[in-house]
Amino acid sequence: MSDNDLKILGICGSLRKKSFNMAGLRAAGELMPAGMKLEITSIADLPMYNQDVYDAGMPEPVGRFRTEVAQADGVLIASPEYNFAVTPALKNAIDWGSRPPDQVWQDKPIAIFSCTAGPVGGARVQYDLRKILSQIWGLVLPRPEVFIGNSASKFDAELHLTDETTKKFLTDLLVGFKAWIERVRRK
């Protein structure tokens, strides 16, 4: 690792301790191509968005989160799907980041993947996320799309990613993400 590595901020849309998505993010950290470094943040301490709270001044966890996103070269989001949509924790974090001044998603390279218990792998949440993030000028990597369904069969009991095909999909996503960040910077 070097100081010149692209700083990637990992955000998990699930708050539970044994989250497959958090496990997927940790696996992504190990699969990153050379020249990228992943740091995973927490969105568990962000208060529920309330305009009155915003008007009184950004709470400390919100300021911390916004700074982390603003300083990242790219953001890697892993999230489950809740009732065909984005989890409340993730939407809340996106909303806090979207408020002026200097909304933090503007021109930010973003990559997405999702892990779910069932077979579909979060296809619907990804399109929900793309809609939300593009509206606030986030630059979401179009492809490859990575949907990790039947997660219990892809991770072991200690939540290590064991499925080789899934490792290959994640690696392809990260290689594509690195190229996406470099492409965005050239524009």
Ligand X SMILES: Cc1cc2nc3c(=O)[nH]c(=O)nc-3n(C[C@H](O)[C@H](O)[C@H](O)COP(=O)(O)O)c2cc1C
Size of the site for ligand X (CB under 6 A): 17
Pairing of the two strands 74-78 and 109-115: parallel
Residue 10 interacting with ligand X (CB under 6 A): no
Task: Please say which residue, 10 or 122, places its beta carbon nearer to ligand X.
Answer: 122
Peptide bond into 109 cis (omega under 30): no
**Which listed range, 18-26, 39-47, 66-74, 89-97, lies at the site for ligand X (CB under 6 A)?**
18-26
Q: Which of 6, 8, 11, 21 binds ligand X (CB under 6 A)?
A: 21
Whole-angstrom Cα distance, residue 141 to residue 158? 30
CB burial of 55-84 (b: ≥16 within 10 Å; e: otherwise) equals eeeebeebeebbebbeebbbbbbbbbbbee
Q: Which of 42, 82, 167, 172 binds ligand X (CB under 6 A)?
A: 82
Whole-angstrom Cα distance, residue 23 to residue 7? 19
Contacting ligand X within 99-128 (CB under 6 A): 115-118, 120, 122
Q: How far is the CB of 23 from ligand X (least distance, A)?
A: 8
**Which listed range, 3-11, 79-87, 132-140, 160-168, lies at the site for ligand X (CB under 6 A)?**
79-87
Q: Residue 139 in contact with residue 110, Cβ under 8 Å?
A: yes
**Which listed range, 26-34, 65-73, 75-83, 101-109, lies at the site for ligand X (CB under 6 A)?**
75-83
Whole-angstrom Cα distance, residue 159 to residue 18? 8
The binding track of 137-156 with respect to ligand X, each residue x by CB under 6 A or -, is --------------x-----
Dig out the tokens for 9 from the structure: 């901020």
Residues of this chain that bind ligand X (CB under 6 A):
14, 16, 19-21, 80-84, 115-118, 120, 122, 151
